Structure 1
Amino acid sequence: MLRSFVLCLGAWAALSASVSAKDLPKVEPETVGLSSAKLEDLKKHFQGYVDSGKLAGLTTLVARQGKVAHFETYGDQDIAAGKAMGDEAVFRIYSMTKPITTAALMMLWEEGKFSLDDPVSKYLPSFADQRVFAGQDEDGFKTVPANREATILDLMRHTAGLSYGVFSDTPVDRSYRKNGVFSFGADDSIKTLTEKLGKEPLLYQPGGAWVYSLSVDVQGRLIEVLSGMELDEFFSKRIFKPLGMDDTGFYAEGDEQSRLVEMYALDEKKALVPYKGEFWQDFTVQPGVLSGGGGLVSTTEDYWRFSQMIANGGELDGVRLLKEKTVAMMRTNQLPGNLNGIAGGKQGLGFGLGFAVVQDPSVVKGQTNIGNYFWGGMANTIFWIDPKEELVVILMTNVLPSGIYPLRKDMRNKVYDALVH
Structure 2
Amino acid sequence: MFPRIRLLTPIFAFTLALATITPTFAGEDLGLPTADPESLGMSSEKLDKIPTLLASLVNNQQVPGFVTVVARDGKVVHFNAFGSRDVEREKPMTPDTIFRMYSMTKPITGVAVMILVDEGKLKVTDNLSKYLPEFSEMTVMEVSKIGSTQIVPAKSPITVENLLMHTSGLIYGIFDGGPLGELYNENGINSDGSSGNTLEEFSKMVAKMPLKAHPGTEWNYSVSMDVLGRVVEVVTGQRYGDFLEERIFQPLGMKDAGFYVPAENADRLAANYGPKTGGSGMVLIDDPQTSAFLKVPSL
Please, what TM-score do these two structures have when normalized by structure 2? Answer: 0.84
Picking from 190, 202, 214, the partner of 2:199 is 190
Letter in 1 for 2:66: L
2:294 maps to 284
1:62 maps to 70
- Partner of 2:293: helix, strand, or coil? coil
Contact preservation (8 Å) 2:271, 2:286: no
Contact preservation (8 Å) 1:21, 1:245: no
Contact preservation (8 Å) 1:4, 1:281: no
Matched, 1:82 2:77: no
State the Cα distance separating 1:74 from its structure 2 match.
1.5
Picking from 53, 57, 73, the partner of 1:45 is 53
Post-superposition Cα deviations, 1:349-396, rounded to whole Å, max 9, x if no partner, equal xxxxxxxxxxxxxxxxxxxxxxxxxxxxxxxxxxxxxxxxxxxxxxxx
1:273 maps to 283
Matched, 1:229 2:238: yes
Picking from 133, 136, 143, the partner of 2:141 is 133
- Work out the CA distance in 1 between the residues paired with 2:297 and 2:149: 33
- Work out the CA distance in 1 between the residues paired with 2:29 and 2:116: 25
Q: 1:138 to 1:34 in 2, by over 3 A?
A: closer
Picking from 156, 171, 176, the partner of 1:163 is 171
- Partner of 2:123: helix, strand, or coil? coil
Letter in 2 for 1:236: E
The aligned runs of 1:138-149 (5 Å cut-off) are: 141-149=149-157
Contact preservation (8 Å) 1:5, 1:287: no
Matched, 1:153 2:157: no
- Partner of 1:129: helix, strand, or coil? coil
- Partner of 2:175: helix, strand, or coil? coil
Post-superposition Cα deviations, 1:293-332, rounded to whole Å, max 9, x if no partner, equal xxxxxxxxxxxxxxxxxxxxxxxxxxxxxxxxxxxxxxxx
- Work out the CA distance in 1 between the residues paired with 2:294 and 2:266: 6
| Unpaired runs of at least 5, structure 1 | 7-19, 291-421
1:259 maps to 268
State the Cα distance separating 1:96 from its structure 2 match.
0.7
Matched, 1:244 2:253: yes
State the Cα distance separating 1:5 from its structure 2 match.
6.5
- Work out the CA distance in 1 between the residues paired with 2:95 and 2:147: 57
Letter in 2 for 1:283: F
Post-superposition Cα deviations, 1:172-220, rounded to whole Å, max 9, x if no partner, equal 211111122238666x301111101111111111111121111111111
Q: 1:89 to 1:54 in 2, by over 3 A?
A: same
| Unpaired runs of at least 5, structure 2 | 7-27
The two structures, once aligned, show a CA RMSD in angstroms of 2.5
- Work out the CA distance in 1 between the residues paired with 2:150 and 2:244: 40
Letter in 1 for 2:51: K
How many residues of Structure 1 are paired with residues of Structure 2 in the alignment? Answer: 273
Matched, 1:71 2:101: no
State the Cα distance separating 1:167 from its structure 2 match.
1.9
Q: 1:80 to 1:139 in 2, by over 3 A?
A: closer
State the Cα distance separating 1:141 from its structure 2 match.
3.6
Please, what TM-score do these two structures have when normalized by structure 1? Answer: 0.60
1:307 maps to none
- Partner of 1:222: helix, strand, or coil? helix
- Partner of 2:141: helix, strand, or coil? strand
Q: 1:136 to 1:126 in 2, by over 3 A?
A: farther
Contact preservation (8 Å) 1:3, 1:281: no
- Work out the CA distance in 1 between the residues paired with 2:29 and 2:229: 25
